[in-house]
Structure 1
Amino acid sequence: MTATTNSAAKAEIQVWAEASRQASRRLATTSSTQRNAALHHLADLLQGQTASLLAANAEDVRAASASLEAATLQRLRLDPAKVVAMVEGVRAVAALPDPLQQVQLRRELDEGLELTRVSCPLGVLCVIFEARPDALIQISALALKSGNAVLLKGGSEAQRSHAVLTALIQEALRQADLPEAAVQSLPDREAIHALLQRPDLVDLVIPRGSKALVQAIQSATRIPVLGHADGVCHMVLDEAADTAMALALVRDAKLQYPAACNAVETVLIHQGAAVRLLPPLVANLRQHGAELRGCASCRTLVPDLLPATEADWDAEYGAPILALKIVADLDEALAHIRAHGSGHTEAIVTEDASAATRFLADVDAAGVFHNASTRFADGYRYGFGAEVGISTGRIHARGPVGLEGLLSHRYLLRGNGHQVADYTGQGARLFRHKDKEIGQA
């Protein structure tokens, strides 16, 4: 872009961001009834406009089919069942308790001097996400419920779908007498680059995509960034794993939706169960179209396995490909996860309670599961209504980020002419610091 065009674009982006800031201030003071009304309007509009949405999405899929990988194309494509799921997700978010102005602490510092801590929105979110139309709805619903404004930049491959969805959200906001600027779509990467330099206008950036995307955003801004770098998830088949359960859980975790970040990428098999588990596991997964890569020990038991390389232990395939490794014991499995896991979701299959307890205690990840598929790592399945993304960091929010991860808090102090001078020096008054029952602010 020329300097003049760049200057004009920055000015336009600032107008959008300032409108978002104003909308966020308005949302922070609205009632739960009004915000829920916007969500119910949105659900109704999605139902009523399913045909036009699917038509726009079909155009996106047609235009992108030659250039996108199969996993990305799967995320892009909508069908009636996905639209129904979007509608249900919006209504589920609306049904959640109001997260705003909830009293988290109430403390009497002294007679007539009371401190409360109450929940409040973060403000303005900037969310960068892949070519996945249902993500736009999930993000917007959670932002509105939590009183946050959101600036959205979706993958360009879904631009027609995103345009229809953004228009429906803004119509729902109008019907609820809420500002349209509460949800806005950004046109291009230049808009993102400009916003990343404005910590005064954006409070949190959430990149949903590749490790390279997350790292690029983190290095380009002083605004806090929430995201996960990789989804390298493991499933450990312990010596005491039930055979039928192990086969079913690996199949679900890998093949139910291979493109998801919570799909399992490596299965670690205890050597004491390898003869019993590995051959039927390979046969079962191959029957369902999986490509399997095994370590040398695995290939001794199943010679026609493709050889796994060191790179496979760190791979997030996003496809029906699975790496298999035989480990000597739980210690080796835990060491492998520490070396190669991304902190997303890890699971163990075992009937040994002590092994399960140790696994749940020792593994440092956002989700640690026993006898359950890694695919449960999801905001909707956790009962959060939806998620704006999954965080593998340890600060602020971790795991599927629902309403709680989009909130901060304020301290409110109510007094009656109280002065700090009365509590210092000779003859100082003593604080009571008496906690009281909490409830609605």
Structure 2
Amino acid sequence: MTAMSDGDTTQTDEDALGTERQVEAAERAALELANVDEAARDEALHAIADGIRERGDEVLAANAADVEAAEAALERGEYSQALVDRLELDDAKLHGIAEMVESVAGQADPLGETLAARELDDGLDLYEVSVPIGVVATVFESRPDALVQIAALCLKSGNAAILKGGSEAGESNRVLHEVVVEATRDVDGVPEGWAQLVEAHEAVDRVLALDDEVDLVMPRGSSEFVSYVEDNTQIPVLGHTEGVCHVYVDEAADLAMAEDVAFDAKVQYPAVCNAVETLLVHEAVADDFLPGLVDRYEDAGVELRGDAATRAVVDVGEATAADWETEYGDLELAVKVVEDVSDAVRHVNEHGSKHTESILTEDDDNAAAFMQGVDAASVFRNASTRFADGYRYGLGAEVGISTGKIHARGPVGLDGLTTYKYYLEGDGHVVASYSGEDAKPFTHVDFDGEWRPGDPDRP
């Protein structure tokens, strides 16, 4: 282990102090942003979209530098092709990012919604109202569009954002963060410091230690990384782990349709977490289904591995035990022949990552058995796993896909970035009136009503 010089120690202390100041600034901003009205938040989002369009050449130039460095790392065997593919931006992707931000602005305001209203007694009314979480820290992968997605969703939901992207997208992230900050600086009401970019790898551990200031951590990465975050912080963690997704072709599937869906789920964009990694095929249709699909996969450059039953039908490589639990993120696919829908469910629950699963069938009973039996955030019938996406779900965008079950599950959009608080409106009520021998009873009657401060017409 190399000894640390006094100069190194000083630099480390300064870096730690810098991270703490960024988080403190975000905490202050979060308290202000929680009370910024929807019109100002939407104005800021439209300003971000305009900024991305206006500074597109600058963003693409920064991204080109990242891609050039990544391609060199790819040649050295340090990066995968999938990572480079996720990293690269072009005019069409920039246009899509700007549209995504505008779609977030077009979503209904998630704040100030009365989730429940209950009369406790005459003149004593309780309201459950949606509010921001506060300071949301995210650590995300090489896709630079993730920075803008997360920032846009945090802004719309009234949360301050701590943004930590991968070093491979460093140049892109710096410019995009600058666009976000500059675009919102002059919007009345939007506080300075609401979006903070941290870059040093060591800054992750510093942020994880600040459990009094940070309210939620959303890591996007491998299971190992998510586990590391969970083990090294007292901050609540909403984990986005890998996507070991399955498509099961049932004996009652429309095989022509099944071929198209299974092909799309792997080939349309293999580098993302909702691409299929294992194809399960009912033994009754394997002989009819697999040869044509395998030819189509191989024409598209997909490397296939199968179990013994699969290899008895088609000429593919041999699958190992590790293949059933691997997120390839590339044009690779494992194939297994199963006995029935119950066998498919058992395999998915044993080897899947609880992300997204799909059954292709015309049989309602088999569909129900699969969809209810599989433990996953999203379960589809006769549809590609690639639909598991916040934008496609109509959420505007997503911070990530949660494979856990607490607080938020599946694509995490605006609702997943809110919590609630209780507002109790009384008129001099005291608990003593409801205690003792002559205690008044509570009415506990739910009613339709919206909490509004100072509303004279409140029931």
Query: TM-score by structure 1 length?
Result: 0.98
Q: Does 1:65 align with 2:71?
A: yes
- Distance across 1 between alignment mates of 2:429 and 2:140: 49
Q: Which residue of 1 aligns with 2:16?
A: 10
Q: Once superposed, what is the RMSD of the aligned Cα atoms?
A: 1.1
Structure 2 unaligned segments of length 5 or more: list them: 74-78, 453-459
Amino acid at match of 1:342: S
Q: Does 1:33 align with 2:39?
A: yes
1:425, distance to aligned residue in structure 2 (A): 1.2
Give the alignment partner of residue 265 of structure 1, picking from 255, 271, 277.
277
Q: Count matched residues.
A: 440
- CA contact 1:104–1:438 (8 Å) conserved in 2: no
What secondary structure is seen at the aligned counterpart in 2 of 1:292? strand
Give the alignment partner of residue 194 of structure 1, picking from 167, 192, 206.
206
What secondary structure is seen at the aligned counterpart in 2 of 1:82? helix
What secondary structure is seen at the aligned counterpart in 1 of 2:213? coil
What secondary structure is seen at the aligned counterpart in 2 of 1:135? helix
- Write the mapping of 1:224-303 to structure 2, written as runs, cut at 5 A: 224-302=236-314
Q: Which residue of 1 aligns with 2:348?
A: 337
- Distance across 1 between alignment mates of 2:59 and 2:338: 49
Q: Does 1:414 align with 2:428?
A: no
CA offsets, 1:170-205, max 9 Å, x none? Answer: 012113132231111002122221111111110011
Residues 171-180 or 352-361, more deviating = 171-180
Amino acid at match of 2:448: E
Residues 7-16 or 210-219, more deviating = 7-16
Q: 1:350 to 1:12 in 2, by over 3 A?
A: same
Q: Which residue of 2 aligns with 1:45?
A: 51
What secondary structure is seen at the aligned counterpart in 2 of 1:266? strand
Give the alignment partner of residue 374 of structure 1, picking from 385, 398, 406.
385
Q: Which residue of 1 aligns with 2:99?
A: 88
- Distance across 2 between alignment mates of 1:206 and 1:329: 37
Q: Which residue of 1 aligns with 2:455?
A: none
CA offsets, 1:139-182, max 9 Å, x none? Answer: 00000000000011101111111111111100121131322311
- Distance across 2 between alignment mates of 1:172 and 1:287: 46
- CA contact 2:130–2:418 (8 Å) conserved in 1: yes
- Distance across 1 between alignment mates of 2:207 and 2:334: 40
Q: Which residue of 2 aligns with 1:214?
A: 226
- Write the mapping of 1:139-154 to structure 2, written as runs, cut at 5 A: 139-154=150-165
Give the alignment partner of residue 360 of structure 1, picking from 371, 385, 406.
371
Q: Which residue of 2 aligns with 1:172?
A: 183
Give the alignment partner of residue 337 of structure 2, picking from 312, 326, 334.
326
- Distance across 2 between alignment mates of 1:9 and 1:282: 53
- Write the mapping of 1:384-403 to structure 2, written as runs, cut at 5 A: 384-403=395-414
Give the alignment partner of residue 306 of structure 1, picking from 285, 307, 317.
317
- Distance across 1 between alignment mates of 2:396 and 2:240: 20
CA offsets, 1:104-132, max 9 Å, x none? Answer: 11111111111101000000011001111
What secondary structure is seen at the aligned counterpart in 1 of 2:392? coil
- Distance across 1 between alignment mates of 2:43 and 2:218: 26
What secondary structure is seen at the aligned counterpart in 2 of 1:325? strand
What secondary structure is seen at the aligned counterpart in 1 of 2:72? coil
CA offsets, 1:18-59, max 9 Å, x none? Answer: 110111011100000000000000111111111111111011
- Distance across 2 between alignment mates of 1:228 and 1:140: 17
- CA contact 1:206–1:226 (8 Å) conserved in 2: yes
Give the alignment partner of residue 124 of structure 1, picking from 116, 131, 135.
135
- Distance across 2 between alignment mates of 1:367 and 1:299: 30
- CA contact 1:41–1:175 (8 Å) conserved in 2: no
Q: Percent identity?
A: 51
- Distance across 2 between alignment mates of 1:10 and 1:59: 28
Amino acid at match of 2:246: H
Residues 121-130 or 223-232, more deviating = 223-232
What secondary structure is seen at the aligned counterpart in 2 of 1:114? strand
- Distance across 1 between alignment mates of 2:26 and 2:158: 12
Query: TM-score by structure 2 length?
Result: 0.94
1:438, distance to aligned residue in structure 2 (A): 3.2
What secondary structure is seen at the aligned counterpart in 2 of 1:117? strand
Amino acid at match of 1:375: R
What secondary structure is seen at the aligned counterpart in 1 of 2:147? helix
- Distance across 2 between alignment mates of 1:158 and 1:229: 20
